Amino acid sequence: MNDPLANASAFVLLLAITAYSTAGGVDFGAGIWDLFAGRGPQSRRPRELIDHAMAPVWEVNNVWLVLGIVLCWTGFPLLFQSVFAALYPLFTLALIGLILRGAFFAFRHIAADPRAHYAADLVFGLSSLLTPFFFAACLGAIASGRLAFDQMSVAFGLVSLAATAFSGASFLVGDARRYGFDDLVAYFRRRAILAGFVLITIGTLALGAIGLEAPALLRSMLAGVGLPFVLATMILTPLVMLLLWRRRYVWYRVLTVTGIGSMVFAWGFAQSPYLLPGQLTISQAAAPHSTQLLLLAVAAVLVLVIGPAMALLYYLDQRGALEPPEA
């Protein structure tokens, strides 16, 4: 029953989900902090930084999502069908969040009237909660094997919100440092540490929920293939908090992303070889070999062509090379 091609495609699918969770998470996290920035004049500076931090990369993130979904329906049509037939309400809510967010992010740049501006901020912030929660809730419903909105979905959704807020704050520290805004460095540093505590608390509770709802999954997370990734998350999250606490601004962003990526991996590996625990394995759901080969070829081209291009984009961006001149 071992099917290396299908396993490879499943791994690529997991990579796409991970990429969206981390890159998208940073972005949605910024949106969450926008929501919590409050109303008065003191909210202006954090908001401006958030705006600024989001502009260049955000539409690239959607591509990960699209890639994941295309991989899913082409590579694993049966999984796609059962997941969508059962979870369409959750996906719809996540999507509504996604487009509202995009639309109102644009709108707040053109809203002149302060009340309209405030409304735009609010919709933007709230939709930044909606999307990560409901996408992760879908993963929770898959992980339980029941494809229903229950404790597992809520647990996954909450972990996702906490992780998103954590990574958003951690990256905003970086952006604030780049511009030398010391007040904002302090502002987001405190929030990153706070979000870290929340993430650890909710993460632990979520493990408990997984234990109750899907003991087999918990077992392979704590005693099977998932273990290294669970450990990585458990070590890296406090480590990032410590670095920020001590104001040692090195590696913290890479470690944030690695920690959150490990969380996604922990789930993915722990439920292999099942795509839907107890119901559908990777090889049962897999499309014919020829299709898998094409998908893997596409993935290879992606890595070869897009990898360097992405790296270039992030490099230019991080060096500030993409700034307009001081007009």
Partner 1 sequence: MESMLVLAGEALLPSRIQMAFTLASHVLLVPLGVALPTLTLLMEGIGIWRKDPVALTIARRWSVVMAVQFAVGAVTGTILSFEFGILWPRMMGRFGAAFGLGFAIEGLAFFMEAIFISIYLYGWNRLRPRAHFLVGLTLPPAGLLGAFGVLSANAWMNTPGGVTIDSGRVVDVDVLQALFTRALGYEFWHFLIALYMTAGFVVASVYAVAWLRGRRDHYQRLAFAVPFTIAAALTPVQLLVGDLSARAIASDQPAKFAAVEITWTTRDHNPEVLGGYIDDSGEVHLGIAIPSLDSLLVGYSPNTVVRGLTSFAADSRPNTLEVNIVHLAFDVMVGLGSAGAALSAWFLWILLRRRRLPESRWFYRLAALSGIGSYVAVESGWITTEVGRQPWIVSGTLRVSDAVTDAPANFVWTSLIALVVIYALIAFFFVTLLIKLAERWRREDSGVAAAPEMGVPYGPRSVPGE
Q: Which stretch binds ligand HEM (CB under 6 A): 57-65, 78-86, 180-188, 301-309?
A: 57-65
DSSP 226-275: THHHHHHHHHHHHHHHHHHHTT--SSHHHHHHHHHHHHHHHHHHHHTTEE
N residues, the chain = 327
Touching ligand HEM, residues 166-185 (CB under 6 A):
none
Asked if residues 169 and 220 have their Cβ atoms less than 8 Å apart, the reply is no
Q: Which stretch binds partner 1 (CB under 8 A): 211-219, 248-256, 266-274, 285-293?
A: 285-293
**Contact with partner 1 (CB under 8 A) among 3, 7, 8, 56:** 56
Angstrom distance (rounded) from CA 153 to CA 139: 7
Residue 69 touches partner 1, criterion: CB under 8 A: yes
State the minimum distance, in angstroms, from the CB of residue 20 to partner 1.
11
Local structure of 275: helix, strand or coil: strand
Distance from the Cα of residue 292 to its chain's centroid = 26
Return the DSSP state at 165: H
Touching partner 1, residues 287-306 (CB under 8 A):
287-288, 290-291, 293-295, 298, 301-302, 305-306
**Contact with ligand HEM (CB under 6 A) among 7, 43, 62, 74:** 62
State the minimum distance, in angstroms, from the CB of residue 185 to ligand HEM.
32
Residue 95 touches ligand HEM, criterion: CB under 6 A: no
Angstrom distance (rounded) from CA 71 to CA 299: 10
Q: CB nearer to ligand HEM: give 11 or 73.
A: 73
Residue 107 partner contact from ligand HEM, partner 1, none using kind-dependent CB cut-offs of 5 to 8 Å: partner 1
Residue 284 partner contact from partner 1, ligand HEM, none using kind-dependent CB cut-offs of 5 to 8 Å: none
CA torsion through residues 301, 307, 308, 309, sign: positive
Asked if residues 165 and 195 have their Cβ atoms less than 8 Å apart, the reply is yes
Touching partner 1, residues 243-272 (CB under 8 A):
none
State the minimum distance, in angstroms, from the CB of residue 26 to ligand HEM.
17
State the minimum distance, in angstroms, from the CB of residue 10 to ligand HEM.
21
Angstrom distance (rounded) from CA 48 to CA 77: 43
State the minimum distance, in angstroms, from the CB of residue 177 to partner 1.
13
User: Looking at this protein, which amino acid is placed at residue 295?
Assistant: L
Angstrom distance (rounded) from CA 294 to CA 108: 42
**Contact with partner 1 (CB under 8 A) among 8, 35, 95, 225:** 95
**Contact with ligand HEM (CB under 6 A) among 55, 66, 106, 254:** 66
Residue 99 touches ligand HEM, criterion: CB under 6 A: no
Angstrom distance (rounded) from CA 287 to CA 299: 16
Residue keyed to tokens 């791994």: 11
Angstrom distance (rounded) from CA 320 to CA 195: 27
**Contact with ligand HEM (CB under 6 A) among 35, 63, 225, 294:** 63
How many residues sit in the footprint of ligand HEM (CB under 6 A)? 4
Touching partner 1, residues 118-177 (CB under 8 A):
none
Q: Of 256, 165, 263, 164, which Cα lies nearest the Cα of 210?
A: 263
Residue 179 partner contact from ligand HEM, partner 1, none using kind-dependent CB cut-offs of 5 to 8 Å: partner 1
**Contact with partner 1 (CB under 8 A) among 80, 187, 267, 269:** 80
Q: Of 79, 30, 80, 17, which Cα lies nearest the Cα of 57?
A: 30
Q: Looking only at Cα atoms, what is the longest distance across the chain?
A: 63
Binding residues for ligand HEM, rule: CB under 6 A, are 59, 62-63, 66
